Chains A and B, each alone.
Chain A
Amino acid sequence: MHIVIVGNGVTGITTARFVRKMSDHRITVISAESDHFYSRPALMYLYMGHLTYEQTKPYADDFWEKNRIELLRDYVREADVAGKRLFLSSGAALSYDRLVLATGSQSNKFGWPGQDLDGVQGLYGLYDLERMEQNTQGIRRAVVVGGGLIGVEMAEMLHARHLPVTFLVRERGYMDYLLPPEEADMVGRQIRSHGIDLRLGTELKAVLGDEEGRVRAVVTSAGEEIACGFVGLTVGVHPNVDLAKASGIETNRGVLVNRFFETSAPDVYAAGDCAEFREPLPGRKPVEQLWYTGRMHGRTLARTLCGRRTPYRPGVFFNSAKFFDLEYQTYGDVPPALGPGLRTLYWEHPNGDRCIRINYREADGAVTGFNVMGVRYRHAVCAAWIREGRSIRFVLEHLGAANFDPEFFTQFEAEVVATYNAGHPEAPVRLKRKRGLRALLTH
């Protein structure tokens, strides 16, 4: 059987690796962007000079041949899903038995005047990085628009090259559609502490160009004109459905799939950033554009491809990010505003640069989510507590087992427990465990 995968991102590659692990099928991965798989989240480190491109490749170049995964650098224009054939930009055609669309996302643009001027761009792939290198030569100020995860990365990238950055964010609090207000504030402070000119509650109105068609300024919703030589548009991404559409495969925002990643066409699957679940899983979004999600999709899909039809069953949600120097990890569900029947325990360091939040249900005390900033927590422990519905009191007693900070770091679990006890003087909790592996293994 010949399995063809379009897209060599984490989704396509994880699928290929696990198919290889489970079978002897012929595997071909086609991608237009790069010869080899690289880590998309590491893009920023290339521009900042922390890493070279070679170092962002998770596998050595000889890995593919050794594991008999054929790589093809080409763009797939169209799939003939009836005849099971692909038509490539190079003019070649390729037949498949099973096809996987792992085509990822594309950057959003919202039709702003001037958005196509030279020096205005988004950040998604290697091509964008090359353009960014050229577009930021000799400029005196950069403007970044859009307060998502890529926006803050772009601000940090420019900052690392000592470029003054103005950062326009529509929301009143940084990522307040995702983060509770305290965390949103903390991220905002972190961004400002690096000297970024962060403008919350400010939108882009238009981009102005000079005679040569290069950006010279932006106009904000406040009516202010900010002179700049570069504009980064990081206002989210949308699933890349070009190929699916051209091939007559059913799409909505993304390529529509069921829990087995099966699309409307026979033997065609879609996964990762580009896929949209017809029926979203409970508590999760129909489109989830995350590295981790792509990896889990790929791993599940590989089983189906190899004849062990397996529905997608992600575990407890988790994610992480780094805002300049502020590390963030989240486990379970921590909504920006507390829903009914939920309570929250929030501790913040007096310096305002670390916090630990634990959400739990009022009725039975079961913990539902963790947010930590400036502190590292153990994935396995937090996820298990949430999955097992452990009560907040149990969790607090054992909180040390969740600590994952490096040795000698100050541990704040006692403060978290004290915060809880201040609200529950009638039945204080006693912290039983400090961090440590023994605690974890005997837990």
Chain B
Amino acid sequence: MPSTNTDFDQSIGLTPGRTFLTSGQKVGQVFVGFGLLLLLAAAFGSEALSPLRFFASGLVSLAFGLAIYYVPDLTAPTTALSSGERVGLGLFGFGLLMLIATLAGLGSLAPALFFWLGTGLVTLGGLLFIRARYAGRPGGIRNDGVMFSNTMSRGAVGWLLGIVFTGFYVLLYWFPAALEGLIRTMDPLSWVLHGKPADQWFMYGTFYTLAVLVMGVRALYKYRHNRYQRIRTFSVMFFQLVFAYLIPSILVLFNRPEFYFSYFWPLKYNYLWPSDVQWLMSQPGGLGVFMVFWAAALSFIATPILTYFWGKRWYCSWVCGCGGLAETLGDPWRHLSDKSVKAWQIERWMIHAVLVFVVATTAVLWINSATEGAVLGGLSGAYARVYGFLIGSVFAGVIGVGFYPVMGSRMWCRFGCPMAATLGIFQKYFSRFRITTNGGQCISCGNCSTYCEMGIDVRWYAQRGQNIIRASCVGCGVCSAVCPRGVLSLENGPREERYNGPALITEDLTILTDEDVEAGAI
């Protein structure tokens, strides 16, 4: 029985957890030692192995190690670890060391070996850790200790992870040369899938897909009592692996244009930009034409229809890769989204501004192309690059994912994604989707609002018996899953009476609908 397992006695705040503190410090020491080793190796650098890289990655390891050693919060665990979890974490940590080693350039020496030692062990360690944490315990909502966790609630680990994620994106977008060693470890895989050496995007795609898969396994375990969550998680894992990773790779392998069938304009803005369209149309065979047709059809025909029937969730929490990463890798931080009315105002303003920006960019590009550059000339290219830089890179990547551990998992989806903006407008005004509340059963506990990754104050509606129809709701279903009183249900149905509960309940004093809704403000 897990509960009587005295291994867990030293849990959240019950005992200071001395023993773990020291083992945490040992981990710090290992990183420090490894860093010193790399620094030392820098002195013996050669033509093939640049001393600079050794020096830099040595510093990274050293910084890591010192942080772990000296910031007590980083090592004092809020929950004690079982032996299985420790094995998993140990392998994960070793894998991390090896990833640092690849950065030093060792990855270029023996790519396959370091692929398995780094990426392989991180994956394996992660999976073992997840298994040890969840398997063999009863399914059900277990957010135990989330608010005490320094990983999940903006503690030291959270901030450290935020820095690491953000740093990774900065290197990836603007200094890919720094990641050379890591990229080389992907060469063997890239040859198989791509038929050519890896570039930074292949490396990124591989990590991205692994993150969705490994953390997807975690989500499958965590929500295993809930069939909606299981199917939905499986769906995002499938779409990421097959549609956003394998198919584009195989297309390249067969000398076809790299194309993501699961991303559409305006999220994948360039798919309907003249440059891409013209390039695709010029491809030999019918494939390029089909791709253009697909992109346009999905954007303009399928999207409204699917959203009409099921709300924006068919895409945002079932298919989309950004959503997929948020629902898997981002799940531990979903409660960090800001629930204030202020945040909601900023959200509406910002996301629609981005939508206008992308529509305008697209329009300008087409006008320019139709007039053969007469309107803007070279300027339209610059305009497009500005969009790509600000929205495509900074927002979607650096802030969107980098800030997961600090600002929650759906920053990009909520504040920046133009696709979410269009889907949201459809969802709000032309959809059969709503979250229904169950009469008067709400106890105003706040679980739903807290665990809504989109920052929707679900309780505000639930406690007055009002249906939830919000443009931003991605239909992840977690509010319904965490509600301890069975109050919330995601449903599709006739559009009449979507805003009220079913008519049956209004006369009843037990339920707060009628007057509450009329009065609006209070």
A residues with CB within 8 A of B = 10, 17-18, 20-21, 39, 41-42, 45, 48-52, 55-58, 60, 66-67, 133, 136-140, 159-165, 193-197, 291-292, 295-296, 299-300, 313-316, 318, 320-322, 324-325, 327, 329, 376-381, 383-384, 404-410, 436-438, 440-441, 443
Cβ–Cβ < 8 Å partners of A49 in chain B: 12, 143-149
Q: How far is the CA of A162 from the CA of B144 in the complex (A)?
A: 10
Question: B443: CB under 8 A from chain A?
Answer: yes
Q: Which residue of A lies closest to B508 (CB)?
A: A315
Question: B323: CB under 8 A from chain A?
Answer: no
Cβ–Cβ < 8 Å partners of B505 in chain A: 379-380, 383-384
Cβ–Cβ < 8 Å partners of A315 in chain B: 508-511
- List residues 466-522 of chain B with CB under 8 A from any CB of chain A: 477, 480-481, 484-486, 489-494, 496-497, 501-505, 508-512, 515, 519, 521-522
Question: Are A195 and B4 within 8 A (Cβ)?
Answer: yes
Question: Are B443 and A162 within 8 A (Cβ)?
Answer: no
Cβ–Cβ < 8 Å partners of B144 in chain A: 48-50, 160-161
Shortest C-beta distance, A332 to chain B (Å), equals: 12
Tell me which of B157-165, B197-205, B226-234 binds A: B226-234
Question: B140: CB under 8 A from chain A?
Answer: yes
Q: How far is the CA of A184 from the CA of B319 in the complex (A)?
A: 43
Given A138-B14, A296-B510, A407-B491, 15 other A-B residues pairs in contact with their CB atoms under 8 A? A18-B515, A39-B444, A45-B445, A45-B446, A133-B13, A194-B138, A195-B2, A195-B3, A296-B509, A379-B438, A383-B508, A384-B504, A405-B489, A408-B227, A438-B493
Interface string of B424-444 (1 = CB under 8 A from A): 000000000000101111011
Shortest C-beta distance, A355 to chain B (Å), equals: 14
Q: How far is the CA of A56 from the CA of B496 in the complex (A)?
A: 33
Q: Which of B4, B147, B439 meets A52, CB within 8 Å?
A: B147
- List residues 1-22 of chain B with CB under 8 A from any CB of chain A: 1-6, 8-9, 11-15
Shortest C-beta distance, A68 to chain B (Å), equals: 11
Question: Are B459 and A58 within 8 A (Cβ)?
Answer: yes
Question: Are A161 and B12 within 8 A (Cβ)?
Answer: yes
Q: Which of B226, B438, B443 meets A378, CB within 8 Å?
A: B438
Question: Are A378 and B143 within 8 A (Cβ)?
Answer: no
Q: How far is the CA of A410 from the CA of B230 in the complex (A)?
A: 13
Question: Are A160 and B509 within 8 A (Cβ)?
Answer: no
Question: Are A322 and B484 within 8 A (Cβ)?
Answer: yes
Cβ–Cβ < 8 Å partners of A39 in chain B: 443-446
Question: B386: CB under 8 A from chain A?
Answer: no
Q: Which of B6, B477, B485 meets A322, CB within 8 Å?
A: B485
Question: B225: CB under 8 A from chain A?
Answer: yes
Cβ–Cβ < 8 Å partners of A296 in chain B: 509-510
Q: Which residue of A lies closest to B484 (CB)?
A: A322
Question: Are B493 and A58 within 8 A (Cβ)?
Answer: no
Interface string of B123-159 (1 = CB under 8 A from A): 0000000000000001111111111110000000000
Q: How far is the CA of A436 from the CA of B502 in the complex (A)?
A: 12
Q: How far is the CA of A21 from the CA of B139 in the complex (A)?
A: 43
Question: Are B5 and A162 within 8 A (Cβ)?
Answer: yes
17 contacts between A and B (CB under 8 A): A41-B445, A42-B445, A49-B145, A49-B148, A160-B144, A161-B11, A194-B3, A315-B508, A316-B510, A325-B139, A327-B485, A329-B485, A384-B504, A404-B489, A405-B489, A407-B491, A436-B491
